[in-house]
């Protein structure tokens, strides 16, 4: 029987995530699977690296938990192969292993791991680490999504601006300035915020730099939405 109060619970939210477990010890797989399923995650299990790669390709998990020492293909090699798969650059890879030596951890991170956890670990600590990693993943994926504002599309990954279906090329700083202003429509960004976000605090630029870049953006895109707030800065008016 489903409890209606759980309709919008974290359990339901977690069910959107696939976690692939790769370990050659059946007891470890069952232990991890049990505790992650309790949190609502969709769990996949593989007994070695080769099997894990096949499941990764077919199921496209958001997070992979690997042991280091496994037959056929160890965890380090498996991690490297996962990073080479198309579309897996953002997939979170975590090592969970009894190997706690510094050189083993270094090898794991150099292979492309996001985290390295040594056994034994308490279930609550493990699930807390996984929640934190998935929050980071969700935030990154959200940040990577194109900005859509009426007839304007800004693709962060491709560094492309599309206005009325026409692709417009902007230099890096103009693109970053436009992206900043459109990231929070109607918010007034002070000149100090813009300098810090687009040019960085360590870069010295002239007082008119922002004004020149805004003027160029307006000329190229014809945006009437970028408003000047005298004495303060700029905002993108939605």
Q: What is the pLDDT of residues 108-128, one digit of tens each?
A: 999 999 889 988 889 899 998
Q: Tell me what pLDDT residue 36 has.
A: 94
C-alpha 221/C-alpha 224 separation (Å) is 9
Q: Tell me what pLDDT residue 197 has.
A: 82
4 or 35, which is more confident?
35
Question: Between the ranges 2-16, 69-83, 129-143, 193-207, where is the mean pLDDT highest?
Answer: 69-83
Q: Tell me what pLDDT residue 10 has.
A: 55
Q: What percentage of the chain carries pLDDT values higher than 70?
A: 87
pLDDT at 203 over 60: no
The stretch 21-38 carries a mean pLDDT of 94
Strand, coil or helix: 20: strand
State the chain's mean pLDDT as an integer: 85
Q: Tell me what pLDDT residue 3 has.
A: 44
Q: Tell me what pLDDT residue 1 has.
A: 40
Q: Tell me what pLDDT residue 48 has.
A: 95
DSSP 187: P
Model confidence over 171-195: pLDDT tens digits? 888 988 998 898 888 899 999 889 8
- pTM for the model stands at 0.58
Q: Name the H helices within 39-122.
A: 49-59, 75-84, 102-110
Pairing verdict, β 160-163 and 152-155: antiparallel
Q: What percentage of the chain carries pLDDT values higher than 90?
A: 43
Number of C-beta neighbours around residue 68 at 10 A: 22
Give the residue among 144, 117, 25 at the shortest CA–CA distance from 63: 117
Confidence of residue 143 (pLDDT cuts 50, 70, 90): low
C-alpha 238/C-alpha 226 separation (Å) is 9
C-alpha 79/C-alpha 84 separation (Å) is 9
């Amino acid at each position: 029987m489903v409890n209606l109060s759980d309709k919008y619970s974290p359990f339901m939210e977690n069910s959107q995530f696939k976690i692939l477990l790769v370990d050659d010890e059946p007891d470890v797989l069952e232990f991890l699977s049990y505790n992650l399923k309790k949190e609502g995650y969709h769990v996949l299990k593989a007994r070695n690296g080769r099997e894990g790669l096949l499941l990764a390709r077919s199921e496209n998990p958001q997070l992979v938990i690997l042991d280091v020492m496994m037959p056929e293909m160890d965890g380090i090699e498996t991690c490297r192969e996962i990073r080479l798969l198309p579309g897996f650059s953002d997939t979170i890879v975590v090592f969970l292993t009894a190997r706690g030596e510094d050189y083993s951890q270094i090898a794991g991170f150099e292979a492309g791991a996001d985290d390295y956890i040594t056994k034994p670990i308490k279930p609550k600590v493990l699930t807390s680490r996984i929640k934190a990693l998935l929050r980071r993943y969700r935030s990154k994926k959200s940040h990577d999504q194109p900005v859509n504002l009426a007839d304007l599309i800004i693709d962060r990954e491709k560094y492309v601006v599309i206005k009325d279906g026409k692709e417009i090329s902007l230099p890096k700083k103009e693109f970053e300035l436009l992206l900043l202003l459109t990231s929070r429509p109607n918010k007034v960004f002070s000149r100090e915020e813009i300098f810090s976000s687009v040019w960085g605090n360590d870069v010295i630029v002239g007082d008119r730099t922002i004004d020149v870049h805004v003027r160029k953006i307006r000329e190229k895109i014809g945006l009437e939405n970028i408003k000047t707030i005298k004495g303060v800065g700029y905002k993108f008016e939605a």
